[in-house]
Amino acid sequence: MFELRSLTADDLKDAMELSTQAGWNQIDADWERFLARCPEGCFAGTVDGDLVATTTVSTYGDDVSWIGMVLVDEAHRSQGYGSRMFERGLEYAREHGGDIVGLDATHLGEPIYQKYGFEGVTTVYRWQGSVDEPTDTDDRERDGRVEPLTAQDLDAVCEFDQSHVETDRSDLLRTLVAESDVRGFYSRGSNGIDGYAIVRPGRRNWQIGPVVTADPSATESLLRNISTSFDGRDVIVDAPDRDAVSSSLDAIGLSRERELVRMTYPEPEPALLTDSVRAFVDFAFG
């Protein structure tokens, strides 16, 4: 019999097996982060005590809730478990989150979410590849503005993020930066911080995100400067469909790999999608 309950720390090993089975990039730290930030919004579906399905909800104050990690074990699909997990996540988001509920859907999943009242906002892409290192003097001079993010810089970066994303994500940013393998970088302009980027390891690829810059011209320089962080492994970047963003990602050697659609409920809203957002945290966190 299928049972739906809260996800617990004891479930995380099995949850990791589900995301690996799906071919996703999550590692243990990602699952731990979901549970640490919003434990009441993480749900488990079990059959005879075995974990077979998950969904998570991440909340950002009173502004936005984000649904992700809707997973069902291959052997238990086509039985309605995914719908029940998603419905529980949506219920939680409506009761405990902000006015906007968002998610990133494949085109196959888009009509399913439309039935629940979600509407498409914009196309989003996953980019992948190896980041090219700067090769000319001008690039290297611009990169001189970029510095590693330390605990002393975090307040200023959180303030910058909130003013440019129009959502308070400081709790998530502080959680990310505190993780041992996560690296942050920020760039300075004449008026102080003008951009930052977070880099973290994944199961197959490093993930770059979020990336927020006040000026599109700062994006490519910021991304190039962190190219030495990847130990030769490919990276992935989840990003909005904008010409300036696409130009920056193409210029550093990445290419589009997947196309999804950003959807929100109950109205189409640019959630976590201001002009300053160059890359998302990922599709599961928004």
Residue 104 lies in a domain: no
pTM for this structure? 0.93
- Domain harbouring 274, CATH code: 3.40.630.30
Q: How many other CB atoms are there within 10 angstroms of residue 152's CB atom?
A: 7
Task: Clarify whether residues 139 and 61 are in a common domain.
Answer: no
Task: Clarify whether residues 178 and 241 are in a common domain.
Answer: yes
- Say which residue the tokens 């749900």 belong to: 43
**Domain enclosing residue 46, as ranges:** 2-98
Task: Clarify whether residues 59 and 147 are in a common domain.
Answer: no
Q: Are 244 and 219 in contact (CB under 8 A)?
A: yes
Task: Clarify whether residues 63 and 142 are in a common domain.
Answer: no
Give the integer Cα–Cα distance in Å for 119 and 46. Answer: 30
Residue 175 lies in a domain: yes
| 61 vs 246, more confident | 246
Task: Clarify whether residues 149 and 23 are in a common domain.
Answer: no
How many separate domains does the chain show? Answer: 2
Residue 116 lies in a domain: no
pLDDT in tens, 81-100: 999 999 999 999 999 877 89
Provide the mean pLDDT of the chain. 92
Task: Clarify whether residues 89 and 162 are in a common domain.
Answer: no
Task: Clarify whether residues 263 and 140 are in a common domain.
Answer: yes
* Confidence band for 174, pLDDT divided at 50, 70 and 90: very high
The pLDDT value given to residue 205: 94
* Confidence band for 192, pLDDT divided at 50, 70 and 90: confident
* Confidence band for 277, pLDDT divided at 50, 70 and 90: very high
Give the integer Cα–Cα distance in Å for 180 and 36. Answer: 15
* Mean pLDDT confidence for 170-195: 92
Give the integer Cα–Cα distance in Å for 28 and 96. Answer: 26
Residue 7 lies in a domain: yes
Task: Clarify whether residues 164 and 249 are in a common domain.
Answer: yes
**pLDDT of 159 higher than 90:** yes
| 200 vs 223, more confident | 200
Sequence-ordered alpha helix ranges (H) in the chain = 12-21, 28-37, 81-96, 110-114, 137-143, 154-165, 170-178, 217-225, 243-251
The pLDDT value given to residue 217: 81
Using alpha carbons, select from 19, 20, 15 the residue that is nearest to residue 46: 15
| 240 vs 99, more confident | 240
Task: Clarify whether residues 130 and 272 are in a common domain.
Answer: yes
Report residue 176 as tokens: 């990310």
The pLDDT value given to residue 144: 53
**pLDDT of 28 higher than 90:** yes
**pLDDT of 39 higher than 60:** yes
**Which DSSP category does 167 fall into?**
S
* Mean pLDDT confidence for 195-223: 92
Q: Give the three-class secondary structure for 104.
A: strand
What's the sign of the alpha-carbon dihedral 144, 157, 100, 286?
positive
Q: Which of 83, 98, 113 corresponds to the end of one domain? A: 98
* Confidence band for 140, pLDDT divided at 50, 70 and 90: very low
Instruction: Using only the alpha carbons of the chain, give its radius of gyration.
Output: 19
Residue 34 lies in a domain: yes
The pLDDT value given to residue 238: 98
**pLDDT of 229 higher than 80:** no
Task: Clarify whether residues 70 and 185 are in a common domain.
Answer: no
Task: Clarify whether residues 69 and 155 are in a common domain.
Answer: no
The pLDDT value given to residue 252: 87
